[in-house]
A and B are shown apart, each in its own frame.
Chain A
Amino acid sequence: MVQKIGYLRETPSQTAGPYVHIGLAPNFCEIGGVYDADLGISLINDRTLGERITVKGRIFDGAGAAVKDAVVEIWQADSAGLYNSPSEMRGTADPNFVGWGRCPTSAEDGVFRFETVKPGRVPYKHGRWMAPHITLWIVARGINIGLHTRMYFPDEAEANAEDPLLARIEHRDRVATLIASQDGSIYTFDVHLQGDKETVFLDI
């Protein structure tokens, strides 16, 4: 017999269900008075450094219908490429930018929307750098384990071309599923859960 390795098993995931808003965004679903405001509704304030941008989009199911009961969370570096996290060892991030946001998709049209700043570049390994990106995490009824993906910027073609994650996508026509479309400072990132336009999701 060998020694027992002694690791625990990760708690298994379950769907967030259709009433996820009760827990993650109670004011959004008209449960007032418990929390002052829903967590993650605002990423920036007047003093936040960097270029203001809007990130919006919708999530589509395999039949092309917008998912109207999802919750999207984003996590990103500040404009200098630093994360506001105790595990960030390279410096101190902008104290006026938490870098995390949460938005339920609209019950009317399925749109999620974040007012944020454009993130700076962050390092990969072996002296390589990643292109500016925003990490997304999506939960909803019918999604058994939260889906991770990334949004990249169409105006960063040079950085995108050397990004280690984008470089790993074997079918090159799928790289486009991770790149937002741009209209001035508004970036639109639609997520397709299934089918011909399926977004690249990550096991990371």
Chain B
Amino acid sequence: MSDKTNSKPEIGAFFARDRAWHPPAFAPGYKTSILRSPQRALLSLDGTISEITGPVFGHSILGELDNDLIHNFAKPGESAIGERIIVHGRVLDERGRPVPGVLLEFWQANAGGRYRHKKETYLAAIDPNFGGCGRAITDEDGHYAFRTVRPGAYPWPNGVNDWRPAHIHFSVFGHGFAQRLITQMYFEGDPMIWKCPIVGTISDKAAIEQLIAPLDWGNTIPMDARAYKFDIVLRGRRSTLFENRLEGN
């Protein structure tokens, strides 16, 4: 890594998670959480080497079209149907430092809100040229980008008339397994965001706003694709200047 702030491996434990900022396990407006939420308190412990460390994936795992959902499932010469967009941003930690070399995976429905999954039965049509998965690894500045079509909203059996806002799921690895995160990105201006019980599992409006990607006019490519910018923040880690070193360090 050429970035000097990240040139030395970091071995500090991570900042404690603010679990009032994240959604709670039990959020009954999202019905499935009722039987899938632990009722006992979590066991709290400062991170050990088992959480400070984590897997790192090399660029060699990536195929040429892994970050191009418009083409990575399409027949040769064809492309997915929908509003062409670029989604890009940076992965930072809570200290504002870029997190280089981390794997992001994303998945989404097609332009009509239909997922390519055998358990999905929504009557909107499958797009024969759209799979819905992609991945990227952040560069030295923590930056990532992918190309896709804007997903549609879709209905789901929670309340009688619940619809998910347009969203893209993100899975992010950090440098330590304690940073592991799955979240969802929403789109600026979508009125569905404020009706959604899954969004509503988060109680703090500022936390919800952190999941809404603004339209990025500056990076919109004329006559091609609009851009949305979605930055992701992972847990920060302590400096180790005055820490008891792990055995063998």
Contacts and interface: CB of A to CB of B under 8 A. Distances in A.
A130 B50 contact: yes
Contacts of A2: none
Contacts of B17: 10, 203
Interface-central residue, A9, A34, A77, A137, by most chain B CB under 10 Å: A34
A90 B36 contact: no
B30 interface: yes
A144 B27 contact: yes
* Consensus secondary structure, chain A interface: loop
A29 B120 CA distance: 11
B43 A12 contact: no
A123 B61 contact: no
Interface in B115-156: 115-120, 131-133, 135
Interface string A77-90: 10000011111111
Classify chain A: how many residues form its interface, as a range.
35 or more
Nearest to A33: B73
Contacts of B112: none
Interface-central residue, B23, B32, B45, by most chain A CB under 10 Å: B32
A83 B53 contact: yes
Given A12-B21, A22-B117, A31-B116, A67 B36 contact: yes
Contact of A168 (B11, B43, B247, B249): B43
A138 B55 CA distance: 16
Given A89-B249, A145-B22, A204-B178, A122 B50 contact: yes
B63 A35 contact: yes
Contacts of B235: 10
B77 interface: no
B94 A86 contact: no
Contact of A14 (B55, B57, B175, B184): B184
Contacts of A91: 248
Interface of B: 9-11, 15-19, 21-25, 27, 30, 32-40, 42-57, 61, 63, 65-66, 72-73, 92-96, 105-108, 115-120, 131-133, 135, 169, 171-172, 175-178, 180-184, 198-199, 201-202, 206-208, 210-211, 232-236, 244, 246-249
Closest 4 CB pairs of A and B: A23-B107, A142-B32, A123-B247, A85-B53
18 contacts: A6-B96, A11-B232, A15-B30, A15-B198, A35-B135, A75-B53, A85-B176, A87-B10, A87-B54, A90-B246, A100-B54, A123-B248, A130-B50, A143-B33, A144-B25, A145-B23, A165-B48, A201-B43
